[in-house]
Amino acid sequence: MSRDIEAAHEVLRAIRKIVRRVSEHSKYLARESGLTMPQLVCLKAIGEMEEAGEREITVVMVSKRVQLAPATVSRIIDRLCRGELVLRERRARDRRKVCLSLSPAGLDRFHTLPVPLHERFVDRWMALDESERSQLMNSMLRITELMDATDLDAAPILAPGSDVKNDS
């Protein structure tokens, strides 16, 4: 086998390792927290906004923060409400507005959430010098093109895709 083909296979092995790591980490988080990755990320976003003093947290605000569609976040929030981790309330000032907050159980869970893989990645990414980040970014974008994946929509959350789409 030529060196070039072996190099291509090595890239494919690296991609497979990343996919396996994401899957394993998602399973670990589900075991540790009892939540899927999208649920964990939404719960974390609400908790962080509350800690920052935000009083009227909406689904749209959470969706912007986690970079998922509002309809997807609404389904995730439905599940968190059924699990009694998040509360939906209409505010007296504007009865049309539905605000989110953590329940006491949700607040307890928020304080014990494990760190998602994508957050550790971002910390490590930021520790790289700018030229290395630029080189890696260009390489990943090119690999995305080679894998015919440029038209796929993806949030910056490392979770198996089915976790996000079927989290209702």
State residue 26's pLDDT score: 85
Q: pLDDT tens digits, residue range 138-154?
A: 999 999 999 998 888 77
Total count of domains within the chain: 1
Average per-residue pLDDT for the chain: 88
Q: Mean pLDDT across the stretch 106-134?
A: 93
Which residues are paired to 89 by β-bridges?
Answer: 99
pLDDT surpassing 60 at residue 163 = no
Alpha helices in the chain (DSSP H): 3-33, 37-51, 59-66, 70-82, 104-111, 117-127, 130-146, 161-165
Parent domain of 73: 3-165
CATH of the domain at 154: 1.10.10.10
Q: Which pLDDT band, with edges at 50, 70 and 90, does 166 fall under?
A: very low
Those residues whose C-beta lies under 8 Å from the C-beta of residue 64, and which sit 6 or more positions away, are: none
Predicted TM-score of the model (pTM): 0.76
